[in-house]
Amino acid sequence: MARAPILTPQAEDFPRWYQDVIAKAELADNGPVRGTMVIRPWGYALWERMQREVDDRIKAAGAQNAYFPLFIPQSYLQREAEHVEGFSPELAVVTYAGGKELEEPVVVRPTSETIINSFFSKWVQSYRDLPLRVNNWSNVVRWELRPRIFLRTTEFLWQEGHTCHATEAEAAAYARQILDEVYADFMDSVLAIPVVRGLKTARERFAGAVNSLSCEAMMRDGKALQMGTSHQLGQNFARAFDVRYLSAAGQQEHVWQTSWGVSTRMVGGLIMCHGDDAGLRVPPALASVQAVVMVVKDGEGVGAAVEQIVAELRASAVRVEVDERTDTPFGRRAVDRELKGIPVRVEVGPRDLADGTVTLVRRIPGTKTSVTVAEVARDVAAALVEDQRALYDEALARRDAATVEVSTVEEAASAAANGWARIPWAVLGVEGETMLATQAISVRCLVRADGGVPESADEPDLIAVVGRSY
How far is residue 211's CA from residue 204's CA, in Å, rounded to a whole number? 10
Q: Are 129 and 250 in contact (CB under 8 A)?
A: no
| Fold of the domain built from segment(s) 16-274 | BirA Bifunctional Protein; domain 2 (3.30.930)
Confidence at residue 1, expressed as pLDDT on a 0 to 100 scale: 32
**Other residues' Cβ atoms within 10 Å of the Cβ of residue 385:** 11
Q: Torsions phi, psi of 109, nearest 5?
A: -40, 115
Round to whole Å and give the CA distance between 383 and 61.
31
Separation of CA 343 from chain center: 20
The pLDDT value recorded for residue 314 is 97
CA atoms within 13 A on the CB side of 434: 3
Q: Quote the CA–CA distance of 122 and 337 in Å, as a whole number.
A: 52
Q: Where are the domains of the chain?
A: 16-274, 291-383, 404-467
Q: Please tell me the CATH code under which domain 291-383 is placed.
A: 3.40.50.800
For residues 151 and 223, give the distance between their C-alpha atoms in angstroms, rounded to a whole number. 13
Q: Tell me, what's the pLDDT at 78?
A: 84
Measured distance CA(323)–CA(345) in Å, rounded? 10
Beta bridge partners of 425: none
Report the DSSP pairing between strands 252-254 and 244-246.
Answer: antiparallel
CA 197/CA 319 separation, integer angstroms: 31
Q: How far apart are alpha carbons 220 and 23 in whole angstroms?
A: 19
- In this prediction, residue 3 carries a pLDDT of 46
Instruction: Please tell me the predicted confidence (pLDDT) of residue 5.
Output: 66
Q: Kindly give the interhelix angle for 265-274 and 376-401, rounded to the nearest 10 degrees.
A: 90
Give 10-residue mean pLDDT values along the chain (470 residues): 71 97 97 96 98 98 98 88 75 94 95 94 97 97 92 97 98 98 98 98 93 98 98 95 96 98 98 98 98 94 95 97 95 96 97 94 97 96 98 98 98 96 98 97 97 95 97
Contacts of 216 (CB under 8 A, 6+ apart): 195, 196, 197, 198, 224, 225, 226, 227, 444, 445, 465
HEC assignment per residue over the chain? CCCCCCCCCCCCCHHHHHHHHHHHCCCEEECCCCCCEEECHHHHHHHHHHHHHHHHHHHHCCCEEECCCCEEEHHHHCCCHHHHHHHHHHCEEEEEECCEEEEEEEEECCCCHHHHHHHHHHHCCEHHHCCEEEEEEEEEECCCCCCECCCECCEEEEEEEEEEECCHHHHHHHHHHHHHHHHHHHHHHCCCCCCEEEECCCCCCCCCCCEEEEEEEECCCCCEEEEEEEEEEECHHHHHCCCEEECCCCCEEECEEEEEEEECHHHHHHHHHHCECCECCCCCCCCCCCEEEEECCCCCCHHHHHHHHHHHHHHCCCCEEEECCCCCCHHHHHHHHHHHCCCEEEEECHHHHCCCEEEEEECCCCEEEEEEHHHHHHHHHHHHHHHHHHHHHHHHHHHHHCEEECCCHHHHHHHCCCCEEEEEHHHHHHHHHHHHHCCCCEEEEEECCCCCCCCCCCCCCCEEEEECEC
Q: Considering the entire predicted model, what is its pTM?
A: 0.95
* Residue type for position 464: A
Domains 16-274 and 291-383 share a fold: no
